[in-house]
A and B are shown apart, each in its own frame.
Chain A
Amino acid sequence: MAASAGDVEVVDFEPDDDDLMDEDAAAHADASPTATAPKLRSAVTGGASSFAFGETRKTKGRGFREDAGPDQGSRLAARDFDSLDSDGGPGPQRCVFTVEGWIVLVTGVHEEAQEDDVHNAFREFGQVKNLHLNLNRRTGFVKGYALIEYENFKEAQDAITMLNGTELLTQTIYVDWAFSKGPIRRRNMGRSITVSIIGQLQYAVSEYED
């Protein structure tokens, strides 16, 4: 188990990964960013045409001026991320590992809430398998959100339906699903991706016309 000496980098990236954040950005790699766009390899500014705010965005920080950090561009670029199977459609995602579970996110939690307060409110709809009520690391009070796991869909859906917008410890809480099966599709995003794909197709078609 000799540790590798000095500079050898022993990380398991696929050798043919590009310096791109991921496969989505690959299609837009040729779209040159505006002259003032920062040198970042993230999906947001990698030239992806769906995010057309580059020209008007204020930028700040050393990250725009310096060389990229180690392996930047490849750290999150590899394709072999673990994820749980889904059919890619919209809607809440079930958590399947060895035991099934459904996770809801609660926001607007009062900062003095105790775990018991949250547990008591949510146990009405089913057994709470897991409860994360994270603290604000600076103040020691509750950060303001909680993550709750139920065993089945109906229990979680009932909790969402019945508790969303209600009051807990004099403060309004909002309850919703935490995970979904696929990407959020916003109207703007969809439209501009379509435009760019059509543009490319037209170009490709015209190349073959003769």
Chain B
Amino acid sequence: MAGSSGEQDEFYLRYYVGHKGKFGHEFLEFEFRPDGKLRYANNSNYKNDTMIRKEVFVTPAVLRECRRIIADSEIMKEDDNNWPEPDRVGRQELEIVMGNEHISFTTSKIGSLVDVQSSKDPEGLRIFYYLVQDLKCFVFSLISLHFKIKPIQS
């Protein structure tokens, strides 16, 4: 299976998006650790809500797929030098270790492609923008399936 050359390499992924405001430190964060632990945290104090934290061990197959998603995006070739700095509106962090490369990007929140296109590095930021969406999809599916979270049936 493709990717076996990367099997012995280190892999780590962490994504954070959040801001501080009227409802406290509202953020979403998830992390894939090399030992397969997936941790997810979502916090808000909106209407006195409290933090949600979930964790589960995923298999090497899941880590491999995560690596493939990241490799396909080519995010490891990018740099956040010209990306907008985090601001009052919010902050995003993406940290990835793959093999002998380690990236740690921070930037502001991205509202839409308009923000991407009007930035100083639209190509790189676009890659980041879509990768984050794909990773969120993956993580949300894993977490919601494992913890059996289903929409409320009326």
**Chain A residues at the B interface, C-beta cutoff of 8 Å:** 1, 3-4, 7-12, 38, 40, 42-45, 51, 53, 56-64, 66, 69-71, 75-76, 78, 80-84, 86, 92-93, 95, 97-99, 101, 103, 105, 107, 130, 132, 134-138, 143-145, 147, 149, 174, 176-186, 188-189
Q: Are B137 and A82 in contact (CB under 8 A)?
A: no
- Distance between Cα atoms of A34 and B27 in the complex (Å): 31
Q: Please indicate the chain B residues that have their CB under 8 angstroms from the CB of A188 in the complex.
A: 8
Q: Please indicate the chain A residues that have their CB under 8 angstroms from the CB of B16 in the complex.
A: 69, 75
Q: Which of A81, A134, A180 contacts B58 (CB under 8 A)?
A: A180
Q: Are B101 and A180 in contact (CB under 8 A)?
A: no
Q: Are A178 and B58 in contact (CB under 8 A)?
A: yes
Given contacts A44-B12, A45-B102, A101-B148, 6 further A-B contacts (CB under 8 A): A44-B34, A60-B103, A76-B29, A134-B134, A137-B134, A179-B57
User: CB-CB contacts of B97-121 with A at 8 A, as 1s and 0s?
Assistant: 1001111111100000000000000
Chain A residue at smallest Cβ distance from B63: A184
Instruction: Give the most central of B29, B50, B57: most A CB within 10 Å.
Output: B57
Cβ contacts A to B, 24 pairs, < 8 Å: A7-B20, A9-B24, A11-B51, A51-B34, A53-B10, A57-B101, A58-B100, A61-B103, A62-B105, A63-B105, A76-B29, A76-B31, A81-B55, A92-B59, A95-B145, A97-B148, A105-B62, A134-B138, A145-B65, A178-B146, A179-B146, A181-B57, A184-B59, A188-B8
User: Which size bracket describes the interface of B in this complex?
Assistant: 35 or more
Q: Are A44 and B86 in contact (CB under 8 A)?
A: no
Q: Please indicate the chain B residues that have their CB under 8 angstroms from the CB of A60 in the complex.
A: 79, 101-104
Q: Are A40 and B104 in contact (CB under 8 A)?
A: yes
Q: Please indicate the chain A residues that have their CB under 8 angstroms from the CB of B145 in the complex.
A: 95, 101, 103, 130, 132, 147, 149, 178
CB contacts under 8 Å to A, within B57-80, are: 57-65, 68-69, 79-80
Number of A-B contacts defined by CB within 8 Å: 213
CB contacts under 8 Å to A, within B1-42, are: 1, 8, 10, 12, 14, 16, 18, 20, 22-25, 27, 29, 31, 33-37, 39, 41
Q: Are B68 and A107 in contact (CB under 8 A)?
A: yes
- Distance between Cα atoms of A3 and B47 in the complex (Å): 8
- Distance between Cα atoms of A132 and B134 in the complex (Å): 13
Known contacts A10-B24, A97-B147, A107-B61: A42-B12 contact under CB 8 Å = yes
Instruction: Give the most central of B12, B53, B68: most A CB within 10 Å.
Output: B53
Instruction: Give the most central of B43, B54, B63, B145: most A CB within 10 Å.
Output: B145
Q: Are B100 and A10 in contact (CB under 8 A)?
A: no
Chain A residue at smallest Cβ distance from B134: A137
Q: Are B146 and A75 in contact (CB under 8 A)?
A: no
Q: Please indicate the chain A residues that have their CB under 8 angstroms from the CB of B12 in the complex.
A: 42-44
